[in-house]
């Protein structure tokens, strides 16, 4: 019973942390550009995981180093920028809802490019999920090509998450998850620092309370929402299995929507219904064998 409660406690903590990522991005964007918020996130996560990177270099074969770096860019670096740019025009709650499509893209990429077996049930789940997505985008109060293009950035990020999950599942089964994460984030420290330098981040005054607040939000986003959450997720999967761990996907948009409402964002009943339809599709897709899924979506 004790072990079961521990699993659920970690589950709830992960849903809270990853679901809060979107409101933290929004807070960071109050003072910084989306490029600076994303770079701060990656830099903070990389610095925290840096102590684990030395051991990872020794344990990961040289032949797979390039692949580990690729997954770092595809699964973390580029999506971090896409999410931050998107949140300059769309609500954080909508970004959180769209993020829940990651398992659907994971299956689609797996079937099309990685020869992952599927079934009519999973196809049905994908169809239901995308029906929910279509109605969600159409239910916005200010539907325009401009807003849809920024929502598309989130969808592109979830597609990259799906590609990353398949890469890890297909080519890095024998590598430790923490080793993969620590090495990937360690290599992202340099490009993240470079972006901050060339975008003038170091010219900000730390005597400005608004700057301090945005800096703290962006740093927490990286330290807690990325590095520590990744370690917690691997801990959960090790104890309770991949299927249980992947269920965190359902908690993330609920937390994101909650934070959005607290922050004054509006959410219609239609949008809540669309969220339910999307999560139903994700549930159907997740039924069955999830052995190739290494991790759910994370911000």
> In the chain, what are the domain boundaries?
2-286
Residue 224: Cβ within 10 Å count:
19
Alpha helices in the chain (DSSP H): 2-19, 21-28, 34-59, 65-72, 78-86, 92-99, 102-113, 120-138, 145-171, 177-198, 209-222, 229-240, 242-246, 248-262, 269-286
Q: What are phi and psi of 157, to 5 degrees?
A: -65, -40
Tens of pLDDT along 64-79?
999 999 989 998 999 9
CA–CA dist 196, 219 (Å, integer):
13
What is the DSSP-derived secondary structure letter of residue 74? Answer: I
Q: What is the pLDDT of residue 174?
A: 81
pLDDT tens string for the chain (299 positions)? 466 788 888 888 988 999 999 999 999 999 999 999 999 999 999 999 999 998 999 999 999 999 999 989 998 999 999 999 999 998 898 898 888 888 888 888 888 888 777 778 878 888 888 888 888 877 655 545 567 789 899 999 999 988 988 888 788 878 887 888 899 999 999 999 999 999 999 999 989 999 999 999 999 999 999 888 888 877 776 677 655 666 777 788 889 889 988 998 887 788 888 888 888 887 887 665 444 444 444 44
Could you tell me which residues come within 8 angstroms of residue 133 by beta carbon, excluding any fewer than 6 positions away? 98, 101, 274, 278
State the residue for tokens 């959450």.
229
* pLDDT reported for residue 77: 95
| Cα separation, 57 vs 62, whole angstroms | 8
Q: Which pLDDT score, from 0 to 100, does residue 44 have?
A: 96
The pTM assigned to this predicted structure is 0.86
Cβ(92)–Cβ(27) below 8 Å: no
Q: Give the separation between CA 130 and CA 281, rounded to whole angstroms.
A: 8
What lies within 8 Å, CB to CB, of 117 at 6+ separation is 289
CA dist 91 and 201 (Å) reads 25
Return the number of other C-beta atoms located less than 10 Å from residue 258's C-beta.
17
For residue 291, the model assigns a pLDDT of: 45
Distances (CA, A) of 198 to 36, 148, 205: 10, 29, 16
> Cα separation of 292 and 82, whole Å?
25
**Alpha carbon 90 to chain centroid, angstroms:** 17
CB 160 within 8 A of CB 81: no
Span between the terminal Cα atoms of the chain, in Å: 31
pLDDT of residue 289: 46
If we measure between CA atoms, which residue out of 268, 238, 233 comes closest to residue 140?
A: 268
Task: Check residue 34 and give its pLDDT.
Answer: 97
Nearest to 271 by CA among 163, 138, 160: 138
pLDDT at 242: 56
Q: What is the dihedral of CA 276, 271, 41, 232, to 10 degrees?
A: -20
**HSE-up of residue 171 (Cα within 13 Å, Cβ side):** 19
């Amino acid at each position: 019973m004790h072990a079961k409660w521990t699993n659920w406690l970690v589950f709830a903590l992960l849903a809270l942390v990853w679901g809060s990522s979107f409101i933290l991005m929004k807070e960071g964007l109050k003072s910084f550009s989306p490029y600076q918020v994303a770079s701060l996130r990656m830099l903070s996560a990389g610095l925290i995981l840096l102590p684990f990177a030395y051991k990872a270099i020794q344990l990961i074969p040289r032949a797979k180093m390039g692949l580990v770096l690729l997954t770092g860019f595809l699964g973390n670096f580029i999506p971090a920028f896409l999410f931050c740019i998107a949140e300059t025009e769309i609500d954080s709650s909508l970004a959180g809802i769209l993020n829940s499509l990651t398992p659907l893209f994971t299956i689609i990429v797996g079937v099309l490019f990685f020869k992952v077996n599927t079934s009519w049930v999973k196809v049905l789940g994908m169809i239901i999920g995308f029906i929910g997505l279509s109605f969600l985008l159409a239910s916005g109060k200010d539907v325009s090509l401009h807003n849809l293009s920024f929502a598309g950035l989130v969808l592109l990020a979830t597609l990259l998450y799906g590609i990353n999950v398949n890469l890890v599942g297909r080519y890095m089964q024998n590598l430790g998850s923490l080793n993969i994460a620590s090495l990937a984030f360690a290599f992202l420290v340099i490009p993240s620092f470079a972006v901050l330098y060339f975008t003038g981040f170091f010219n900000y005054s730390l005597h400005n309370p608004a700057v301090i607040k945005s800096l703290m939000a962006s740093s927490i986003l990286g330290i807690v929402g990325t590095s520590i959450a990744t370690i917690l997720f691997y801990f959960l999967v090790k104890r309770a299995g991949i299927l249980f761990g992947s269920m965190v996907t359902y908690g993330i948009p609920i937390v994101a929507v909650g934070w959005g409402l607290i922050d004054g964002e509006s959410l219609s009943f239609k949008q809540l219904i669309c969220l339910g339809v999307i999560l139903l599709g994700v549930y159907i897709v997740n039924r069955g064998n999830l052995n190739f899924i290494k991790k759910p979506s994370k911000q």
